Amino acid sequence: MSKLNLQTLFRPEVLALSAYHVANAQGLIKLDAMENPYTWSDELKQAWLARLKNCPLNRYPDPEARELTTTLKTQNQLSDEIDVLLGNGSDEIIQLLLIALPQNSHVLSTTPSFVMYKQISDYLGLNYHGVSLTDNFDLDLPAMLAAIEQYNPAIIFLAYPNNPTGNLFDAESINKIINATNGLVIIDEAYEPFANASFMNRVANNVLVMRTVSKLGLAGLRLGYIAGEREIIEQLHKIRLPYNINVLTQASVQFALENKTVFSEQTTAICDERTLMLNALNSLTGVTAYESAANFILFKTPENQATKIFEAIKAQGVLIKNVHPQGGLLTDCLRVTVGTPSENKAFLQALESAL
């Protein structure tokens, strides 16, 4: 290393970053990452393995993932003018969108919101702005419109439902933002399976909708997709790495989408548990849990105790997410993913004894 000067070798934006930290969940009940706790029946797994058996591992995957793309377009009832781009998780799509922007572009989202919007903007040297949500976690429309006016953002990210707050923003406010901007509006619908709302039928002009199969129950496969006007998607295809979706992911997601009923049953179970968990949380003294349209719940703990409570829950074998360090509206807040009934029970017991 003696001859290397990392300080001049790498861009200052990269040097300034702290790595995205993923907690080690070994041996813990994992309720930190919005994963679906359920897997498949042995019968379904057998059928899936039979499908994988025919995957030609010696060949590069279909660079356009045509079969899967067609399935996604059909299942989402997209018209011919709308195209779909696949990514290695929607994280990769966020990165692709931002890589495509000119230097000095501005990117707008909300605070709090999904951390990758800012993280990737920062290391690409783009100008990121997060407009604070209102006290009830909705869009501050006047502030958003003022930021659009001031920065003329190339891209606006809106997570719908929002992570980590779990709520759906007011749709009329989103419409006004769409109409006010000259840039792209990316509606990030990572939690659509748990929400009864979507902008998918609004995809046109500057509106794009991004989804992922991660929260649905296939986080290990890494597949996200974005739907938008053909001309926009075409530009993104140019900078996408040619074989970004591997052959096993293409085949597995295709198989999963042909067997969608499994997911609707699991999603229904998760939403039922969400209601029970919300009520259980709100029955605890000192805890305020917020309504969620996603598969997680954000809750507020007594002042200055979030980190202590988080650690005490972890010491009892349950890993959730401490969002208190993000500050602002998330001060004193923790986020828990809705798991199986027994996992949720273990979490609630751990929380109760931690309070």
Ligand X SMILES: *Cc1c(COP(=O)(O)O)cnc(C)c1O
Chain residues in the site for ligand X (CB under 6 A): 34, 89-91, 114, 159, 163, 188, 190, 212, 214, 219, 224
Query: Closest approach of Cβ 256 to ligand X, in Å?
Result: 14
Three-class SS state of 34: coil
Residue least distant from ligand X (Cβ): 89
- For ligand X, the closer of residues 69 and 212 by Cβ is 212
- For ligand X, the closer of residues 212 and 267 by Cβ is 212
Query: Closest approach of Cβ 337 to ligand X, in Å?
Result: 11
Identify which of 44, 46, 66, 34 has the alpha carbon closest to the alpha carbon of residue 258.
44
Query: Closest approach of Cβ 215 to ligand X, in Å?
Result: 6
Q: How does DSSP classify residue 328?
A: G
DSSP string across 261-305 = HHHHHHHHHHHHHHHHHHHHHHTSTT-EEPP-SSSEEEEE-STT-
- For ligand X, the closer of residues 168 and 354 by Cβ is 168
Query: Closest approach of Cβ 163 to ligand X, in Å?
Result: 4
Query: Closest approach of Cβ 117 to ligand X, in Å?
Result: 8
Query: Closest approach of Cβ 174 to ligand X, in Å?
Result: 15
Q: Who's near 176: CB < 8 A, 6+ residues apart?
A: 141, 145
Q: Give the tokens for residue 238.
A: 């140019």
The alpha carbon of residue 37 and the mean position of all alpha carbons in its chain are separated, in whole angstroms, by 17
**Phi, psi of 74, deg, nearest 5:** -65, -50
Identify which of 122, 68, 49 has the alpha carbon closest to the alpha carbon of residue 244.
68
Neighbours of 81 (CB within 10 A): 11
Query: Closest approach of Cβ 69 to ligand X, in Å?
Result: 16
- For ligand X, the closer of residues 116 and 178 by Cβ is 116
Residue 253 contacts residue 68 (beta carbons within 8 Å): yes
- For ligand X, the closer of residues 91 and 273 by Cβ is 91
- For ligand X, the closer of residues 98 and 350 by Cβ is 98
Q: 318-319 and 29-30 as β-strands: parallel, antiparallel, unpaired?
A: parallel
Neighbours of 219 (CB within 10 A): 16
Query: Closest approach of Cβ 182 to ligand X, in Å?
Result: 24
- For ligand X, the closer of residues 34 and 208 by Cβ is 34
- For ligand X, the closer of residues 188 and 354 by Cβ is 188
Q: Which helix (H) or strand (E) holds 158?
A: strand 155-159
